[in-house]
A and B are shown apart, each in its own frame.
Chain A
Protein backbone atom coordinates (compact mmCIF):
# COMPACT_ATOMS: atom_id res chain seq x y z
CA UNK A 1 0.00 0.00 0.00
CA UNK A 2 2.08 2.92 -1.21
CA UNK A 3 1.44 6.14 0.55
CA UNK A 4 1.93 9.70 -0.55
CA UNK A 5 5.44 10.96 -1.29
CA UNK A 6 7.28 11.52 1.97
CA UNK A 7 10.74 12.59 0.92
CA UNK A 8 11.53 14.08 -2.46
CA UNK A 9 15.25 14.17 -3.24
CA UNK A 10 15.90 16.40 -6.26
CA UNK A 11 19.29 16.76 -7.95
CA UNK A 12 21.11 16.34 -4.64
CA UNK A 13 24.79 17.14 -5.10
CA UNK A 14 27.54 17.03 -2.49
CA UNK A 15 31.05 18.16 -3.22
CA UNK A 16 34.02 17.95 -0.86
CA UNK A 17 36.72 20.09 -2.35
CA UNK A 18 37.48 18.31 -5.59
CA UNK A 19 35.61 15.15 -4.75
CA UNK A 20 32.06 14.74 -6.04
CA UNK A 21 30.51 12.42 -3.49
CA UNK A 22 26.89 12.64 -4.63
CA UNK A 23 26.05 13.60 -8.19
CA UNK A 24 22.58 14.99 -8.98
CA UNK A 25 20.75 12.27 -7.15
CA UNK A 26 16.97 12.21 -7.49
CA UNK A 27 14.49 9.76 -6.02
CA UNK A 28 11.31 9.70 -3.95
CA UNK A 29 10.64 7.81 -0.77
CA UNK A 30 7.02 7.14 0.07
CA UNK A 31 5.20 7.15 3.37
CA UNK A 32 4.61 3.76 4.96
CA UNK A 33 7.15 2.20 2.62
CA UNK A 34 10.63 0.82 3.16
CA UNK A 35 13.08 2.36 0.71
CA UNK A 36 16.56 0.88 0.59
CA UNK A 37 19.65 2.68 -0.68
CA UNK A 38 22.31 0.23 -1.74
CA UNK A 39 25.54 0.35 -3.62
CA UNK A 40 29.19 -0.61 -3.37
CA UNK A 41 31.35 0.94 -0.67
CA UNK A 42 32.13 4.56 -1.23
CA UNK A 43 29.08 5.07 -3.40
CA UNK A 44 27.99 8.00 -1.28
CA UNK A 45 25.15 6.40 0.68
CA UNK A 46 26.07 7.72 4.14
CA UNK A 47 26.77 11.10 2.57
CA UNK A 48 23.17 11.19 1.39
CA UNK A 49 22.04 10.43 4.94
CA UNK A 50 24.27 13.11 6.35
CA UNK A 51 22.79 15.64 3.93
CA UNK A 52 19.29 14.48 4.82
CA UNK A 53 19.83 14.82 8.53
CA UNK A 54 21.66 18.11 8.43
CA UNK A 55 25.22 17.05 9.19
CA UNK A 56 26.33 18.26 5.78
CA UNK A 57 25.00 21.19 3.86
CA UNK A 58 24.33 19.99 0.30
CA UNK A 59 26.28 21.72 -2.42
CA UNK A 60 23.17 21.77 -4.58
CA UNK A 61 19.76 20.20 -4.88
CA UNK A 62 16.59 19.98 -2.82
CA UNK A 63 15.41 17.71 -0.05
CA UNK A 64 11.66 18.12 0.29
CA UNK A 65 10.05 16.53 3.33
CA UNK A 66 6.29 16.31 2.92
CA UNK A 67 4.45 16.84 6.16
CA UNK A 68 0.80 17.45 6.86
CA UNK A 69 1.40 21.13 7.40
CA UNK A 70 3.48 21.57 4.29
CA UNK A 71 6.81 20.85 2.70
CA UNK A 72 10.02 21.39 4.69
CA UNK A 73 13.22 22.23 2.78
CA UNK A 74 15.64 20.01 4.66
CA UNK A 75 18.61 21.25 2.66
CA UNK A 76 18.30 24.60 4.35
CA UNK A 77 17.60 23.43 7.88
CA UNK A 78 19.95 22.99 10.79
CA UNK A 79 20.67 19.45 11.96
CA UNK A 80 18.72 19.29 15.17
CA UNK A 81 15.77 21.12 13.65
CA UNK A 82 15.41 18.46 10.99
CA UNK A 83 14.99 15.91 13.73
CA UNK A 84 12.82 18.10 15.93
CA UNK A 85 10.54 19.88 13.47
CA UNK A 86 10.80 17.50 10.56
CA UNK A 87 10.35 14.28 12.43
CA UNK A 88 13.35 12.66 10.81
CA UNK A 89 15.14 10.18 13.07
CA UNK A 90 18.29 8.27 12.28
CA UNK A 91 20.69 5.63 13.46
CA UNK A 92 24.41 5.60 12.74
CA UNK A 93 26.85 3.30 11.06
CA UNK A 94 29.01 3.23 14.21
CA UNK A 95 26.44 2.95 16.96
CA UNK A 96 25.99 6.20 18.83
CA UNK A 97 24.27 5.35 22.05
CA UNK A 98 24.70 7.30 25.27
CA UNK A 99 26.98 4.59 26.55
CA UNK A 100 27.36 5.82 30.12
CA UNK A 101 23.62 6.20 30.61
CA UNK A 102 21.18 3.38 31.15
CA UNK A 103 19.01 1.80 28.49
CA UNK A 104 15.94 3.46 29.97
CA UNK A 105 17.63 6.84 30.12
CA UNK A 106 18.55 6.58 26.45
CA UNK A 107 14.90 6.15 25.61
CA UNK A 108 13.81 8.98 27.90
CA UNK A 109 16.35 11.41 26.45
CA UNK A 110 14.83 10.73 23.04
CA UNK A 111 11.57 12.19 24.34
CA UNK A 112 13.31 15.41 25.32
CA UNK A 113 11.00 17.73 23.37
CA UNK A 114 7.62 16.77 24.87
CA UNK A 115 9.19 16.44 28.33
CA UNK A 116 10.77 19.88 28.11
CA UNK A 117 7.43 21.40 27.21
CA UNK A 118 5.74 19.58 30.05
CA UNK A 119 8.30 20.82 32.52
CA UNK A 120 7.66 24.37 31.32
CA UNK A 121 11.25 24.49 30.12
CA UNK A 122 12.53 23.33 33.48
CA UNK A 123 10.85 25.98 35.61
CA UNK A 124 7.71 23.99 36.17
CA UNK A 125 9.76 20.93 36.85
CA UNK A 126 11.89 22.68 39.43
CA UNK A 127 8.84 23.85 41.26
CA UNK A 128 7.53 20.30 41.32
CA UNK A 129 4.44 21.01 39.29
CA UNK A 130 2.45 17.88 38.57
CA UNK A 131 2.30 18.38 34.82
CA UNK A 132 5.85 17.19 34.49
CA UNK A 133 5.46 14.12 36.64
CA UNK A 134 2.57 12.93 34.55
CA UNK A 135 4.53 13.53 31.37
CA UNK A 136 7.50 11.62 32.74
CA UNK A 137 5.28 8.67 33.61
CA UNK A 138 3.93 8.68 30.06
CA UNK A 139 7.47 8.80 28.73
CA UNK A 140 8.43 5.80 30.83
CA UNK A 141 5.42 3.93 29.50
CA UNK A 142 6.45 4.59 25.96
CA UNK A 143 9.97 3.47 26.80
CA UNK A 144 8.57 0.35 28.42
CA UNK A 145 6.60 -0.41 25.24
CA UNK A 146 9.70 -0.22 23.10
CA UNK A 147 11.82 -2.16 25.55
CA UNK A 148 9.26 -4.88 25.22
CA UNK A 149 9.35 -4.77 21.42
CA UNK A 150 13.12 -5.12 21.33
CA UNK A 151 13.20 -7.63 24.18
CA UNK A 152 15.34 -5.54 26.50
CA UNK A 153 12.91 -5.07 29.38
CA UNK A 154 15.21 -6.89 31.75
CA UNK A 155 18.12 -4.65 30.88
CA UNK A 156 16.35 -1.34 31.36
CA UNK A 157 18.64 -0.22 34.15
CA UNK A 158 21.86 -1.47 32.64
CA UNK A 159 24.44 0.86 31.21
CA UNK A 160 23.82 1.00 27.49
CA UNK A 161 27.47 0.54 26.72
CA UNK A 162 27.51 -2.86 28.42
CA UNK A 163 24.89 -4.39 26.14
CA UNK A 164 25.88 -6.94 23.53
CA UNK A 165 26.28 -5.59 20.02
CA UNK A 166 22.97 -6.79 18.61
CA UNK A 167 21.09 -5.38 21.57
CA UNK A 168 22.79 -2.02 21.12
CA UNK A 169 21.66 -1.89 17.50
CA UNK A 170 18.08 -2.65 18.49
CA UNK A 171 18.24 -0.03 21.23
CA UNK A 172 19.40 2.61 18.79
CA UNK A 173 16.39 1.88 16.59
CA UNK A 174 14.03 1.95 19.56
CA UNK A 175 15.54 5.25 20.67
CA UNK A 176 14.94 6.72 17.24
CA UNK A 177 11.33 5.50 17.34
CA UNK A 178 10.80 7.18 20.71
CA UNK A 179 10.99 10.51 18.94
CA UNK A 180 7.75 9.61 17.09
CA UNK A 181 9.32 10.24 13.70
CA UNK A 182 7.74 10.50 10.29
CA UNK A 183 10.81 9.21 8.53
CA UNK A 184 13.21 6.72 10.05
CA UNK A 185 16.68 6.60 8.52
CA UNK A 186 18.72 3.53 9.35
CA UNK A 187 22.40 3.41 8.47
CA UNK A 188 23.41 -0.23 8.07
CA UNK A 189 21.22 -1.58 10.86
CA UNK A 190 22.15 -5.16 10.04
CA UNK A 191 25.91 -4.64 10.12
CA UNK A 192 27.53 -7.21 12.34
CA UNK A 193 24.34 -9.15 12.98
CA UNK A 194 24.17 -12.91 12.57
CA UNK A 195 21.47 -14.42 10.31
CA UNK A 196 19.02 -14.98 13.13
CA UNK A 197 19.42 -11.44 14.39
CA UNK A 198 18.97 -10.17 10.82
CA UNK A 199 15.72 -12.09 10.54
CA UNK A 200 14.56 -10.54 13.83
CA UNK A 201 15.52 -7.14 12.49
CA UNK A 202 13.38 -7.74 9.42
CA UNK A 203 10.42 -8.58 11.63
CA UNK A 204 10.98 -5.50 13.74
CA UNK A 205 11.19 -3.16 10.77
CA UNK A 206 8.14 -4.65 9.08
CA UNK A 207 6.19 -4.31 12.31
CA UNK A 208 7.33 -0.72 12.76
CA UNK A 209 6.18 0.08 9.27
CA UNK A 210 2.83 -1.58 9.74
CA UNK A 211 2.00 -0.32 13.23
CA UNK A 212 3.52 3.12 13.32
CA UNK A 213 3.05 4.26 9.77
CA UNK A 214 6.55 5.62 9.38
CA UNK A 215 8.48 5.68 6.18
CA UNK A 216 11.78 3.88 6.47
CA UNK A 217 14.92 4.78 4.57
CA UNK A 218 17.53 2.10 4.81
CA UNK A 219 21.20 1.88 3.89
CA UNK A 220 22.21 -1.73 3.87
CA UNK A 221 24.66 -4.25 2.44
CA UNK A 222 22.95 -7.36 3.72
CA UNK A 223 20.89 -8.49 0.71
CA UNK A 224 18.67 -10.76 2.79
CA UNK A 225 17.46 -7.75 4.67
CA UNK A 226 17.24 -5.55 1.60
CA UNK A 227 15.43 -8.01 -0.63
CA UNK A 228 13.37 -9.32 2.24
CA UNK A 229 11.66 -6.15 3.33
CA UNK A 230 12.17 -3.31 0.86
CA UNK A 231 9.32 -1.98 -1.19
CA UNK A 232 11.60 0.12 -3.29
CA UNK A 233 15.37 0.12 -3.91
CA UNK A 234 17.66 2.91 -5.08
CA UNK A 235 21.12 1.87 -6.27
CA UNK A 236 24.09 4.23 -6.14
CA UNK A 237 27.51 3.92 -7.65
CA UNK A 238 30.15 6.64 -7.51
CA UNK A 239 27.55 9.07 -6.25
CA UNK A 240 25.16 8.55 -9.16
CA UNK A 241 21.88 6.71 -9.25
CA UNK A 242 22.15 3.71 -11.54
CA UNK A 243 18.85 1.99 -10.80
CA UNK A 244 15.56 2.66 -9.06
CA UNK A 245 12.69 0.23 -8.68
CA UNK A 246 11.14 -2.79 -7.03
CA UNK A 247 13.42 -5.52 -5.60
CA UNK A 248 12.65 -7.96 -8.40
CA UNK A 249 13.69 -5.46 -11.06
CA UNK A 250 16.86 -4.47 -9.24
CA UNK A 251 17.94 -8.05 -8.74
CA UNK A 252 18.15 -8.59 -12.47
CA UNK A 253 19.29 -5.14 -13.56
CA UNK A 254 22.55 -5.50 -15.52
CA UNK A 255 23.86 -2.11 -14.44
CA UNK A 256 23.52 -3.12 -10.79
CA UNK A 257 25.20 -6.44 -11.34
CA UNK A 258 28.04 -4.69 -13.15
CA UNK A 259 28.52 -2.21 -10.34
CA UNK A 260 28.76 -4.91 -7.69
CA UNK A 261 30.51 -7.67 -9.51
CA UNK A 262 32.16 -6.04 -12.45
CA UNK A 263 31.77 -7.20 -16.02
CA UNK A 264 32.47 -10.82 -16.82
CA UNK A 265 35.73 -11.29 -18.69
CA UNK A 266 35.11 -12.16 -22.29
Chain B
Protein backbone atom coordinates (compact mmCIF):
# COMPACT_ATOMS: atom_id res chain seq x y z
CA UNK B 1 0.00 0.00 0.00
CA UNK B 2 2.28 2.76 -1.22
CA UNK B 3 1.16 6.39 -1.33
CA UNK B 4 2.92 8.26 -4.19
CA UNK B 5 1.39 11.70 -3.46
CA UNK B 6 3.74 14.19 -1.76
CA UNK B 7 2.69 14.44 1.85
CA UNK B 8 3.79 16.49 4.84
CA UNK B 9 3.28 15.41 8.43
CA UNK B 10 4.34 17.49 11.42
CA UNK B 11 4.76 16.49 15.04
CA UNK B 12 5.82 18.63 18.00
CA UNK B 13 7.46 16.87 20.91
CA UNK B 14 8.09 18.09 24.43
CA UNK B 15 11.79 18.23 25.33
CA UNK B 16 11.50 15.17 27.53
CA UNK B 17 13.41 11.96 26.95
CA UNK B 18 11.16 9.13 25.90
CA UNK B 19 9.01 11.28 23.61
CA UNK B 20 11.36 10.48 20.73
CA UNK B 21 9.24 7.33 20.48
CA UNK B 22 6.31 9.41 19.21
CA UNK B 23 8.47 10.60 16.31
CA UNK B 24 9.73 7.04 15.73
CA UNK B 25 6.18 5.68 15.50
CA UNK B 26 5.05 8.51 13.22
CA UNK B 27 8.05 8.09 10.89
CA UNK B 28 7.50 4.33 10.82
CA UNK B 29 3.83 4.77 9.93
CA UNK B 30 4.61 7.20 7.08
CA UNK B 31 7.41 4.96 5.77
CA UNK B 32 5.09 1.95 5.88
CA UNK B 33 2.47 3.84 3.86
CA UNK B 34 5.19 4.67 1.31
CA UNK B 35 6.10 1.02 0.93
CA UNK B 36 9.48 0.87 2.68
CA UNK B 37 10.69 -2.58 3.70
CA UNK B 38 10.63 -3.44 7.39
CA UNK B 39 14.43 -3.38 7.76
CA UNK B 40 14.62 0.12 6.28
CA UNK B 41 11.86 1.25 8.61
CA UNK B 42 13.91 -0.02 11.57
CA UNK B 43 16.90 1.98 10.27
CA UNK B 44 14.72 5.08 9.98
CA UNK B 45 13.25 4.63 13.47
CA UNK B 46 16.69 4.50 15.07
CA UNK B 47 17.95 7.51 13.08
CA UNK B 48 14.86 9.57 13.95
CA UNK B 49 15.10 8.56 17.61
CA UNK B 50 18.73 9.65 17.80
CA UNK B 51 17.96 12.96 16.06
CA UNK B 52 15.17 13.68 18.55
CA UNK B 53 17.30 12.68 21.56
CA UNK B 54 20.05 15.06 20.41
CA UNK B 55 17.48 17.82 19.93
CA UNK B 56 15.98 17.23 23.39
CA UNK B 57 19.29 16.83 25.26
CA UNK B 58 21.71 19.10 23.43
CA UNK B 59 19.59 21.49 21.33
CA UNK B 60 16.90 22.28 23.89
CA UNK B 61 18.95 21.19 26.93
CA UNK B 62 15.97 19.31 28.38
CA UNK B 63 14.05 22.58 28.75
CA UNK B 64 10.44 21.44 28.71
CA UNK B 65 9.31 24.94 27.74
CA UNK B 66 10.88 24.28 24.35
CA UNK B 67 9.56 21.81 21.84
CA UNK B 68 11.21 19.72 19.15
CA UNK B 69 9.68 19.97 15.70
CA UNK B 70 9.60 16.93 13.46
CA UNK B 71 8.57 17.44 9.82
CA UNK B 72 8.19 14.40 7.58
CA UNK B 73 7.97 15.16 3.86
CA UNK B 74 7.34 12.29 1.51
CA UNK B 75 7.98 12.29 -2.23
CA UNK B 76 7.42 9.39 -4.60
CA UNK B 77 10.74 7.71 -3.80
CA UNK B 78 12.10 9.37 -0.68
CA UNK B 79 11.14 10.41 2.80
CA UNK B 80 12.80 13.48 4.35
CA UNK B 81 12.69 14.03 8.10
CA UNK B 82 13.71 17.36 9.63
CA UNK B 83 14.19 17.48 13.40
CA UNK B 84 14.29 21.09 14.59
CA UNK B 85 15.35 22.42 17.98
CA UNK B 86 16.13 25.78 19.57
CA UNK B 87 19.87 25.30 19.90
CA UNK B 88 22.74 26.65 17.88
CA UNK B 89 23.23 23.35 16.10
CA UNK B 90 26.44 21.91 14.85
CA UNK B 91 28.50 21.93 11.72
CA UNK B 92 30.81 19.32 10.26
CA UNK B 93 30.42 15.60 10.09
CA UNK B 94 30.32 13.06 12.93
CA UNK B 95 33.38 10.91 13.52
CA UNK B 96 33.07 7.17 13.27
CA UNK B 97 33.28 5.78 16.80
CA UNK B 98 36.45 3.87 17.62
CA UNK B 99 35.48 0.97 19.87
CA UNK B 100 39.12 0.27 20.75
CA UNK B 101 39.61 3.84 21.98
CA UNK B 102 36.36 3.63 23.92
CA UNK B 103 37.44 0.36 25.53
CA UNK B 104 40.75 1.97 26.55
CA UNK B 105 38.93 5.00 27.99
CA UNK B 106 40.46 7.32 25.40
CA UNK B 107 37.06 8.49 24.15
CA UNK B 108 33.69 8.52 25.94
CA UNK B 109 31.43 5.48 25.67
CA UNK B 110 28.67 7.89 24.60
CA UNK B 111 28.64 9.92 21.39
CA UNK B 112 27.20 7.30 19.05
CA UNK B 113 23.99 9.02 18.00
CA UNK B 114 25.21 11.13 15.11
CA UNK B 115 27.22 8.26 13.71
CA UNK B 116 24.15 6.02 13.80
CA UNK B 117 22.03 8.63 12.03
CA UNK B 118 24.57 8.98 9.26
CA UNK B 119 25.11 5.24 8.94
CA UNK B 120 21.46 4.22 8.85
CA UNK B 121 19.93 6.66 6.37
CA UNK B 122 20.91 7.73 2.86
CA UNK B 123 21.57 11.38 3.72
CA UNK B 124 22.17 13.12 7.04
CA UNK B 125 22.83 16.84 7.16
CA UNK B 126 23.22 19.15 10.15
CA UNK B 127 22.20 22.75 9.64
CA UNK B 128 23.19 25.29 12.29
CA UNK B 129 21.21 28.41 13.05
CA UNK B 130 23.02 31.76 13.15
CA UNK B 131 20.68 33.17 15.76
CA UNK B 132 20.21 29.99 17.79
CA UNK B 133 16.56 29.63 16.84
CA UNK B 134 15.94 26.77 14.50
CA UNK B 135 18.84 24.42 13.94
CA UNK B 136 17.94 21.14 12.42
CA UNK B 137 19.11 17.77 11.25
CA UNK B 138 17.79 16.60 7.91
CA UNK B 139 17.56 12.87 7.25
CA UNK B 140 16.62 11.30 3.92
CA UNK B 141 15.81 7.68 3.25
CA UNK B 142 15.16 6.47 -0.29
CA UNK B 143 12.76 3.78 -1.41
CA UNK B 144 15.06 2.26 -4.02
CA UNK B 145 17.98 1.81 -1.61
CA UNK B 146 18.58 -1.71 -0.33
CA UNK B 147 19.36 -2.08 3.38
B is a partner of A: no
